[in-house]
Structure 1
């Protein structure tokens, strides 16, 4: 639980960078469902670039690195 008595989770890159912090959840089981929803979206979701930039070519794409979801805080 955080200072607001809510549950949150973070998506943390292998290098420790916090890539995402969830919204506040009043119940732990709902926060856990949110973690599973993020995991599912990471596997099956599509990425939409809203910046209007040109997508990189294959040589410009860095190798993937593992991302983990930290414990509830």
Structure 2
């Protein structure tokens, strides 16, 4: 079991969380949408696996580099 930490690539606000713990994801699936400067920025899975933890909720502020999702490969 290896855990992969998915991080935000921008500073902004969580617009939409598209996954929940237990969800199966493929590499490049969109997990979260971040609103930044009036644009929606997708945060995507870096690997295939199972979502173990979602560390943000809709409306949360996020910083560049902040952990947002943990995926088990």
**TM-score (ref. length: structure 2):** 0.25
**TM-score (ref. length: structure 1):** 0.25
Say which structure is richer in helix: 1
Say which structure is richer in strand: 2
Larger Rg: 1
